[in-house]
């Protein structure tokens, strides 16, 4: 098993990438702390892991709140004895997020609070726990839009994910000698509830799909497998990297018909 005797904390694990990663990490031997604001979704993830014979604990956490982030890390150490993998996955994409002119300040602030501040707070409280466990892996979820402009205006989301990339690189450099690695995942457009709520018409979905060389949305399970690589010792010489899993969208200038 690739994560045997490891403890993983995954935010936003009540659905999507977080749930698929929690299930996969548990299959690979990790004890998993499932953190989410959605209690029903988080408990369902835990139940699925436990039914498969794995170990998991749900902690309700709003990653934009310092007290919640402190508590989810404490729960990992108190319940499972340490922390080896911190997967800052929680994020939001609000339908009201548009261009710089039309996006309301409240939408900007809420997006930044979850998508960027949430990663900062996860690291603020998670890094000391990783130190106590002798090191480990931090995985932060950015997005392909951190590398290129989005075809559909979403200024706050795009800016927040660009911030995640910069934050990840600095953490990687600062903590490399402490055996703490930090890498960023940049998923392409996925068939998740989060994105499908935004791309809620056939026209919107087509506008995104036309830019993807593979011609389809990705699946959360495909991102989970990339996260497993970053969580495991197989990526032991990787830190500060941007891992792009996007169906080729960032490589394309013109997509073939």
Query: Could you list the active site residues?
Result: 157
Phi and psi torsions of 252, nearest 5°: -90, 135
Closest CA to 135 of 127, 147, 124: 127
Burial class (CB in 10 A: 0-12, 13-18, 19+), 57: buried
User: Residue 85: in which H helix or E strand, if any?
Assistant: strand 85-88
Would you call 109 helix, strand, or coil by DSSP? Answer: helix
Cβ neighbours around 159 below 10 Å, total = 18
**Plot region of 198 (φ>0 → left; ψ -120 to 50 → alpha; else → beta):** alpha
Q: How far apart are CA 235 and CA 225, in angstroms?
A: 13
Q: How many C-beta neighbours within 10 Å does residue 52 have?
A: 11
Regarding beta strands 242-245 and 7-11, do their DSSP bridges make them parallel or antiparallel, or are they unpaired?
unpaired
Query: What sign for the dihedral angle of Cα 225, 88, 36, 51?
Result: positive
Q: Cα separation of 151 and 146, whole Å?
A: 13
């Amino acid at each position: 098993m690739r994560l045997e005797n490891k403890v993983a904390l995954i935010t936003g694990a009540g659905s999507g990438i977080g749930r698929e990663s929690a299930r996969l990490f548990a299959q690979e031997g990790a004890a998993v702390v499932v953190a989410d604001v959605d209690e029903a979704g988080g408990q369902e993830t835990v139940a699925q892991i436990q039914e498969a014979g794995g170990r998991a604990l749900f902690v309700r956490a709003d990653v934009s709140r310092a007290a919640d982030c402190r508590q989810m890390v404490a729960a990992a150490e108190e319940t499972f004895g340490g922390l080896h993998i911190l997967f800052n996955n929680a994020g939001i994409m609000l339908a009201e997020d548009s261009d710089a002119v039309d996006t309301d300040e409240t939408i900007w602030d809420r997006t930044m609070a979850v998508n960027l501040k949430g990663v900062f707070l996860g690291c603020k409280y998670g890094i000391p726990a990783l130190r106590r466990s002798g090191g480990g892996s931090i995985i932060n979820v950015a997005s392909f839009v951190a590398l290129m402009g989005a075809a559909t205006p979403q200024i706050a989301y795009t800016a927040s994910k660009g911030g995640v990339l910069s934050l990840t690189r600095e953490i990687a450099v600062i903590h490399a000698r402490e055996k703490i690695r930090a890498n960023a995942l940049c998923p392409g457009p996925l068939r998740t509830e989060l994105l499908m709520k935004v791309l809620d018409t056939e026209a919107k979905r087509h506008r995104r799909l036309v830019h993807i060389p593979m011609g389809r949305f990705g699946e959360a399970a495909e991102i989970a497998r990339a996260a497993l690589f970053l969580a495991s010792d197989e990526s032991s010489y990787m830190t500060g990297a941007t891992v792009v899993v996007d169906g080729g969208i960032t490589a394309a200038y013109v997509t073939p018909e």
